[in-house]
Structure 1
Amino acid sequence: MKPVYQRLNLFVDVDAYTFVPVEPVGAQSLTIHRSTGDIVLNPPNATIPSTASRFAKTVYGILGLISLALSEYVIVLTGREHRGKLMANDIYRAADFDILPLNPNVSVQNPPHPVEGHLLALVKSHLRGGFFLFSYSWDLSRRLQAQQESEKEKPLWEVADDRFFWNKFLQSRLIDTDIAQVLSPYILPVIYGTFDLRTVYIHGHRIQLCLISRRSRYRAGTRYFRRGIDHDGHVANFNETEQILLVEDQPAALASSGDYNDKLSFVQIRGSVPVYWAEINTLRYKPDLQVMELQDTVDAARLHLQEQVSLYGEQRLVNLVNQKGHEQPVKEAYERTMSQVDLPGVKYQYFDFHNECKHMRWDRISVLIEKLEEDLLKQGYFHTSTKQSSPVQRQLGTVRTNCMDNLDRTNVVQAALAKWTLNHQLKTLGVFSENEQLDDFETLSSDFREMWADHADLISKAYAGSGALKTDFTRTNKRTKMGALEDGYKSVLRYIKNNYFDGARQDAFDLVTGTWIPHKNPSIALSLVVDRRPLVIRSMPYILSFSLFMICAGLTLPRTSDYSLFYYFMLWFIMACLSIVFIMIHGIEYVSWPRLMPPTDIIYYTGPGFRSGHHGKGLGSASGKADGIVDGLGAKWLPSGRKRAATNARIEEIEMGTKKRVD
């Protein structure tokens, strides 16, 4: 694998940015011309212009380039955190970034236009909020088995898994040049995921346990703004999770520091229910559920599953969605679609998680494992050994697990399957005897639980905005009352973020992954920074706040009797109640919706399918009082008399937004 430069010195000039590798000395430097945007690889030992000044920070990699409304920007990595050494390869987390404008008249700190400032803020928030991982010499985007079966002489960016190459769009300016091959040492692939590595010693064996998750950049986004499948077969919140086991069979005291006799990998995947569905936020705790029966539902699901079979082998689909109540229509739509897809190598398994594990009976997950045991043994895991040249065995399939969010229930089940597999692997290698289990070794057991709990938290924060629920079971093997209280707090946090903050977070995903491309004219994108809602809608939160303030102020006012302020309190109490009622009736107007790609076609969908309700759309608005269109760079909310012909024509083309990806 051709490595990437680990440290660069940056020289800034009015006309250019020049990146000079620290090692090897004299290597070809890279220049990005600010006036034209041209990317040039300089001759070895090229001199730096005397007018250029050295950037104050060391650059640990170029994340890529992004073009906004007024300028193109270079995003550089200026801080990194060492997360561990996997098979002698250093793994880092991206900890700090700098954004450098090509246009010398544009300042990142003080953008000259509010639209440019808004777009820059989205990029910054995405970089700060993500968990980005990279290695200069190891392909983090591919599982161990895929790396074993591919060419090893190509550069990292060329062999990286396209689904998990998170900054592929940002790197497209470098990749699409005629000199991409010679630019390879500057192209650093980054994944959005998790990484954890623990070392333990058991019966004289040194054991390393590693857990990696990789989040797909396709259909990426937040919990309520990215659900289900798109027309290309990509599903929301798709994650590949790989548990790597490294075992040295020599006595620990004699083992070398970086080599292991046996390397084993077990891969699981998760992804949203592969049908067209959504949950529409209306400020209610339970959003309106919507299942859309589009003509290509079966084709999209088949496309998704065919891709999984081609990549991983046989698929065992484990569905944890409730069979009653709010989630029932999603379960039924999934099963209805699977009955029509009918693909060889794909088997469906339903498990009623909440019913089977009610009253905190989490040990009941063993019922599911018993049902899957035959397939787990058949699919196996990947295993290489220094004792033979070819792999001992390959993983022939994966378990694909989902619940509604693919977070909490999915985390518990995946951890249980990983634990069962780890026990099986260690017994096969002879580390464990037949009557020994993981729980018999406290250090290994504790590390395993912590790794999976931390892994669950990070995946949940990326999608839902808070840590995962039910992690007390993952960490302790028990469901506790304190854990239930913590879950209550996380649920409230999710509600607040999903309703009031996730719109901007979704915009950031769409902007950085290239799903939405800005126009070079900020004046047509003022809807991104201007509130176009009617005055009465905008005024209600202020009326509510003022009413509550007056009530609090009244508690401190002097009074001649207990009844002297009765009418005062009555007035402001009625005003507060009326404003709350108004806000809840028109709740959909107060949700933080994405502005770059507003999901208006989903909100006002009137085609075949299931809809749990039209709450929060205003009185008499079951068919939709307002309509929305993508206008320039943003969205306009239109009056109720607007014809819906354009929207209805697009229903067959959309599913949570129009795709404009450029790779």
Structure 2
Amino acid sequence: MSTLRVLCRDQPRRSIALATNDCVLEITQPHVDNTRSGPAKNQDANRYLLEAFFRSSEDLQGYRVLGEGWGTLGLISLNNDVFICVVTSSSRAATVRPGETVLKIENVDFYCLNRSDYEYGEDYQTQSRFAAEDIGSDELNDHKDVITDHPFLALKRLLSDGSFYYSRDFNLTDRIQDRSTTSSTFGIDGLNKDMLWNSYMIDPLLLFRSRLSKHEQEKLDGSRILTSVIRGFAGTLAIPASALQVSHWASNLPSSLTIISRLSSRRAGTRFNSRGIDDDGNVSNFVETDTILWSPPGITFSYTQARGSVPIFWEQTPGLIPGQQKIEISRSFEATQNAFEKHFDFLELNYGAVHIMNLLSDTKNGELALSSEFRKHVAKRSAAHQGESSTSFDHHLLRMTDFDFHAEARGPLGYEVSNLIYDLIKRALNGFGYSLIEGNNPEKSSLSDRNQRDVPRVILQQEGIFRTNCLDCLDRTNLVQTIISLMALELYLNQRGGNMVPEIRMRHSALWADNGDALSKVYAGTGALKSSFTRHGKMSLAGAFADARKSATRLYVNNFADKARQNTIDILLGRLNNQVPVELYDPVNDIVMAELERRAEEYTSSRNIRIWAGTFNVNGRGDGTTTDLSPWLLGLREKEGDNPTLVVVAFQEIVELSPQQIMSTDPLPRMTWENSVKDCLNEYADRFKTNRYVLLRSGQLVGAAILVYVREDALNDIKNVEGSVKKASKSYPRFFTMFTNNTIKTGLSGMAGNKGGCAIRLEFSNTRICFVTAHLAAGFANYDERNKDYATISSGMRFRYNRSIEDHDAIIWLGDFNYRIGLENQEVRQLIKLGELGKLYEHDQLNLQMLAGRTFPFYSEGIIKFAPTYKYDIGTDNYDTSDKSRIPAWCDRVLWKGAGLKQIDYRSANLKTSDHRPVLSLFDCAISIVDETQKEKLNRVLYDQHRSKLRTIASGNLLDDDNDDDVLLPSANSLGLPPPSSDRQKWWLDNGPGARSNIKPSTQGDMPNIIGRSNPFAQSNEPEWIKPQTLLEVASSNWSIAKPQRPQKPTTLIQQLTPAKTNMAQYSDVGAANNRDRELKPRLPPQPPTWGTDHLTPEAERIQPRHASADLLDGDDPVMEKWKPLLPHR
């Protein structure tokens, strides 16, 4: 039977209450127009008032029941409506120990807080216009008006897919070894946010809870209204007492074997949408798995393993051919090391020593490249930690074992070759040990013993962990982790005098097969491959057919369904750029936030960094890589040894534009230019012994490329670097956007990449910066096409979580924009010789188009003091002397936007290896740095100060912004006033004076003087009370009023008008035909006002001629043109 009721009250304001037997959480909607049925348009629509009452829910009056459930996952805003999510159905999935049950979510429901529209039509899953997989799809949003009847359907389907678990008995987000020593404690304060999947939804409720008193917190926790969920797998199988042959265990009760897997929410996503590592050290598909054996004497064995994507920056594009999805490493070794270190710092802090099981192939190019980079990072970290004491004598802090699973499995043993792992890791396994806890014995001899739980006692702790990875961390990983788990369990039983009997092995394999299938469905959309071998210990024909079917299903899901699945996951985790969290209104918090903003200088600092940005169209020539690039790359140095923090280099036409090159991307030329630029920068840095540069990220779209380098000392300040070079494979109408993450194709109707743009974005401390390179349409007269190219790139390019180019604090565009000069060839060349660059700039197409607001709105460009950069004869200073004789132009430009950007210099460099001259610019960029620790400390102090001042809160006015200034007024009690009213309590009705006045007259029988005192607040000689007879006499004298006179007619009669004869055939336009009814009726002159003659206007002033103009309506009678009524004078 459910323990939670969902109640609703519609008046005076809509409220939703979550009620248990002794606790009620009431959420009230803000002051909005209740007559509207559409979504709330108020910018404060996400603000709600939450109140907690610790009393029986039977006291609630005026509420109706909406549903029942087991707990709430939190609040979320969807399409401007706010919903609360409630678990309405769940089933038992596992029992870790007696009294510790894990429940699997079977169904959730969403209840709208601000309107009742969603309460009708319970079969919304069949009535909705689109399937859940379609909701949030960019393709639908781009091409259709998607009107989904139930915006929560995709989330409902996700949360009800059987992969989410919760417990009402213990903190499921932590492994058993890390829990509190008192296992009965339900530790909401100790939730592990890494494994918590409803953190975004539940955070407003947890913030509300943190502001309650300790006693109220305990009552709220005891109600189990707040529910924390993990995603992954949980399962238990019973082991008969006869199978667990341990001599000193004399119990006849069965034992239980449990597997619990927790998938991290930090870098969650689907197979091809989430790969590698991020700047905070979080990896994709990171799973923590516990193998737990509880036995009746109260002994709990547990063993923890982890899996996760290769911890470097890499990406993979989906494709229709299995095994042909291209793997690309997106950051250099140096730019990756910082994130790699963070990841293994986290592992060592939480688990101790780490032994890596790398199952990648040594023959497949993509996997070989990943393994090579992985080994280099491990070697560097190990070398840096040499000499440090190890966790145990059997293991160092970090070791790595390579096991090419596919190569080994091709032999006669097949998948059974995985058992060879035993010899490779036996020493490390013994060194790590396992966790052993004593307590929770159900066989108590006395009632008092049964009423008091054992306090668990830790006997042994696991001192290290195996981190296993393959490419997807699914199939191969699951098989190897099964073997490691079995080895640890066997080690434990042998040390306790028991044996690994086939019955235990069979149950263990069945649980791990279920675990592998569940994790694979979450990440790849299907069950795990090789699960038949995991389950039965051998590969059957049926298992092979099942694997083939799963592979085909994965192919479909990864190419056609994962985009929508990823979008739904991002909504659940609150990652989308336009998501607004639900705010539980707290007047004290509003005051604190305003004061925090005013005192921002106490926790915020700023500093300037120097950014060098340059662009070069190399004309498809590869010999430029061997040329000295220092006149360009080392230009604008204010002093010797001065190195900018960021160096942004853009290239165009790095490959010859042949049909083969246009239809596909060759990365080799880009990599050659990367090394040339890096060598030039670091040679200069080494000469002056300054910090060297590392390649942070690069991107390429056929001939266009962008490279971002950063000084080594600034790497720790940079995070969330994005910029994929994935290319679309469809063709769209001309200039229709084709994009993946940061590349847009515009040329050749979008089918190829000869023109377009790519971008890289990053966050430097708390400042968001975006760099965009573009190669726009060529041709003297094609400035309109170039404008369209810009619009396509600017509006169509998207980063993760739907971020656009404009969602940044500083933006720099650089590239070959191809805008020309609108003058004759000879005139342009003559002005160049004369140095009249200002006159040339007056006719520059980009300048004119920007002034007209047709392209690059709100962007700036520095004063151009250099000659046009196109087109030169290669190797000379002469402009084009060929038969085409191109008109010189400033094709290569650098534009910028952002309040924190300041351009220092802007010029060209004298490199003659191309028909273009490179352009370079130097910027100062103001970087904002927020000390989050200091900010949180100040926030806590201010909140405590203002809360102490707040004596009484008028709940009925909490949501009025106009009343914010009145929150800290003196309390009502201090002024001798009754407490303020609310929706449930009204002081004039509850234990107080009645609503009617109880003032009594000074003389019995007198009445209030309603005639003599027109203003009761002004001084008057009239008495306040009067005899009834006196009142009648005064009234009779005032009512003796003469009858009003009828108004006189005006002396001059208005011309009598007759209806005009209208021939309808003369009307040939729609406007005239629509006036047919008006023309057939007699037209009457304006009548005099009916309220008297004092305000009549003389006819000469009242009637004015109206001239035929735009004010004349179609079909106006010419007679009516002679007069125009005026409003009467006031």
TM-score range, shorter chain: 0.7 to 0.9
Partner Cα distance (2:801, 2:698) in 1: 10
Residues of 1 paired with 2:469 and 2:771: CA distance? 26
Distance 1:642 1:615 in 2: 11
Q: Hey, what does 1:374 align to over in structure 2? A: 427
Name the residue aligned to 1:173: 204
1:256-310 alpha-carbon deviations (Å, 9 max, x no partner): xxxx332111000000000011111243332221111245311001100100100
Alpha-carbon separation, structure 2, partners of 1:363 and 1:612: 39
- Once residues 659 and 302 of structure 1 are traced to their aligned partners in structure 2, the CA distance between those partners, rounded to angstroms, is 29
| Gapped regions of structure 1 (runs ≥ 5) | 249-259, 433-437, 522-584, 587-599
Question: Distance between the aligned counterparts of 1:485 and 1:376, measured in 2?
Answer: 35
For the pair 1:74 / 2:84, whether they are aligned, the reply is yes
Shift in Å, 1:479: 2.2
Q: Secondary structure at the match of 2:88?
A: strand
1:64 to 51, 70, 74: 74
> Any conservation in 2 of the 1:627–1:642 contact (CA below 8 Å)?
no
Say whether the 8 Å CA contact 2:73–2:202 is kept in structure 1.
Answer: yes
Give per-residue Cα distances to partners, 1:519-553, cap 9 Å, x unaligned: 579xxxxxxxxxxxxxxxxxxxxxxxxxxxxxxxx
- 2:31 is equivalent to residue 33 of structure 1: no
- Does 2:503 match 1:407? no
Distance verdict in 2 for CA 1:330–1:106, change over 3 Å: farther
**Residue of structure 2 in register with 1:265 after alignment:** 302
Please say if residues 12 and 18 of structure 1, whose CA atoms lie closer than 8 Å, have aligned partners that are also in contact: yes
User: Counterpart of 1:171 in structure 2: which amino acid?
Assistant: I
Could you tell me how far 1:10 is from its partner in structure 2?
1.6
Cα distance, 1:399–1:50 mapped onto 2, change above 3 Å: same
The whole-number CA distance in structure 1 between the counterparts of 2:18 and 2:472 is: 42
- Higher RCO by CA contacts (8 Å cutoff, separation 6 or greater): 1
- Code of the residue aligned with 1:44 in structure 2: it is R
Residue of structure 2 equivalent to 1:222: 270
* CA–CA separation in structure 2 for the residues paired with 1:305 and 1:333: 15
| Shift in CA distance, 131/498, structure 1 to aligned 2, threshold 3 Å | same
1:454 aligned to 498, 511, 514, which one?
Answer: 514
User: What CA deviation, in whole Å up to 9, does each residue of 1:101-152 have, x standing for no partner?
Assistant: 1121653748998366585333223223351111111222111110156x76
2:545 counterpart of 1:485: yes
Contact 2:314 2:330 in 1 (8 A): yes
- Alignment correspondent of 1:503: 563
CA positional deviation for 1:52: 1.6
Structure 2 residues not aligned, in runs of 5+: 31-46, 130-144, 386-396, 442-454, 582-662, 665-696, 710-722, 763-768, 773-796, 804-931, 937-1130
Contact 2:470 2:477 (C-alpha < 8 Å) held by counterparts: yes
Q: Aligned match of 1:100 in 84, 102, 111?
A: 111
Deviation at 1:247, TM superposition (A): 2.2
1:445 maps onto 2:505 in alignment: yes
Stretch deviating more after TM superposition (205-214 or 107-116): 107-116
Q: Return the offset for 1:517.
A: 4.9
Corresponding residue of 1:240 = 288
Secondary structure of the residue that 1:229 maps to in structure 2?
Answer: coil
Q: Distance in 1 between matches of 2:485 and 2:516?
A: 13
For 1:86, what is the secondary structure of its paired residue? strand
Report the equivalent of 2:93.
Answer: 83
- Offset of 1:155 from its aligned partner? 4.4
TM-aligned CA deviation for residue 34 of structure 1: 2.5
The 1:190–1:61 alpha-carbon spacing in structure 2 relative to 1, beyond 3 Å, is same
Contact 2:432/2:462, CA 8 A, preserved across alignment: yes
For residues 283 and 128 of structure 1, do their structure 2 counterparts lie closer, same or farther at Cα, with a shift above 3 Å needed?
same
Q: Deviations over 1:376-422 (max 9, x none)?
A: 10111001235998532110010000000000000010000111111
Partner residue in 1 for 2:231: 192
1:361 CA displacement: 2.5
Distance 2:206 2:320 in 1: 43
Go from structure 1 to structure 2 and tell me whether the alpha carbon gap of 1:446 and 1:519 turns closer, same or farther (over 3 Å shift).
closer
**What secondary structure is seen at the aligned counterpart in 2 of 1:478?**
coil
Q: CA deviation at 1:90?
A: 2.4
**SS of structure 2 residue aligned to 1:509:** helix
Could you tell me which residue of structure 1 aligns to residue 327 of structure 2? 289
Q: Equivalents in 1 of 2:177, 2:69: separation in Å?
A: 32
Matching residue's letter, 1:396 = E
| CA distance in structure 2 between the partners assigned to 1:477 and 1:363 by the alignment | 8
Change (3 A) 1:430 1:6: farther
What SS class does the counterpart of residue 188 from structure 2 fall into?
helix
AA paired with 1:500?
F
2:460 aligns to what SS in structure 1? coil
Q: Which residue pairs with 2:532 in the alignment? A: 472
Aligned ranges 1:552-567 → 2 under 5 Å: none
The offset of 1:175, in angstroms, is 1.0
CA contact (8 A) 2:283 2:311 kept: yes
Give deviations 1:332-387, integer Å, cap 9, x for gaps: 22122222333641111111111122245333223322111111101110012359
Q: TM-score, normalised by structure 1?
A: 0.75
Q: Counterpart in 2 of 1:12?
A: 8
Letter in 1 for 2:78: L
Amino acid aligned to 2:363: K
The one-letter amino acid paired with 1:357 is A
Residue 159 (str. 1) matches residue 170 (str. 2): no
* 2:368 aligned partner: 328
State how many pairs are aligned.
548
1:125 to 157, 168, 182: 157
Matched to 2:16, the amino acid is Y
Give the superposition deviation at 1:646: 6.3
Asked if the contact 1:19/1:29 (under 8 Å) is kept, the reply is yes
In the aligned structure 2, how far is the partner of 1:426 from the partner of 1:72?
53
CA distance 1:507–1:119, change in 2 (3 Å) = farther
1:225 maps to amino acid: N
Quickly say closer, same or farther: Cα 1:187–1:603, change in 2 above 3 A: farther
* Structure 2 Cα separation of the partners of residues 103 and 637 of structure 1: 43
1:379–1:225 distance in 2 versus 1, CA, 3 Å: same
The answer (yes or no) to whether the contact 2:357–2:469 under 8 Å persists in 1 is yes
Percent of residue pairs bearing the same amino acid type: 24
1:602, 1:347 → 2: CA distance? Answer: 33
Residue identity in the other structure for 2:26: T
Letter aligned with residue 13 of structure 1: R
Q: In 1, Cα distance between the equivalents of 2:522 and 2:479?
A: 18
Please point out which of 355, 359, 380 is paired with 2:407.
355
Question: Following the alignment from structure 1 to structure 2, what is the Cα–Cα distance between the partners of residues 372 and 468?
Answer: 24
Secondary structure, counterpart of 1:186 in structure 2: coil
Distance 1:643 1:11 in 2: 53
Aligned to 1:45: 56
Contact 1:77/1:98 (<8 A) preserved? yes
Displacement of 1:496 after TM fit?
A: 0.3
User: TM (normalized to structure 2)?
Assistant: 0.45
| 8 Å Cα contact 1:7/1:60 also seen in 2 | yes
Report the residue type matching 1:230 in the other structure: D
Q: Which amino acid aligns with 1:19?
A: L
Residue in 2 aligned with 1:553?
A: none
Shift of 1:156: 2.9
Say if 1:244 and 1:645 are closer, same or farther in 2 by CA, change over 3 A: closer
Amino acid at match of 1:421: A
> Contact 1:384–1:391 (CA<8 Å) still a contact in 2?
yes
Q: Give CA-to-partner distance per residue, 1:215-242, whole Å, 9 cap, x none.
A: 1011101000000000111000000000
Name the counterpart of 1:315.
Answer: 354
Amino acid at match of 2:534: T
**Larger deviation: 494-503 or 387-396?**
387-396
Which secondary structure does the structure 1 equivalent of 2:484 belong to?
helix
Shift of 1:612: 14
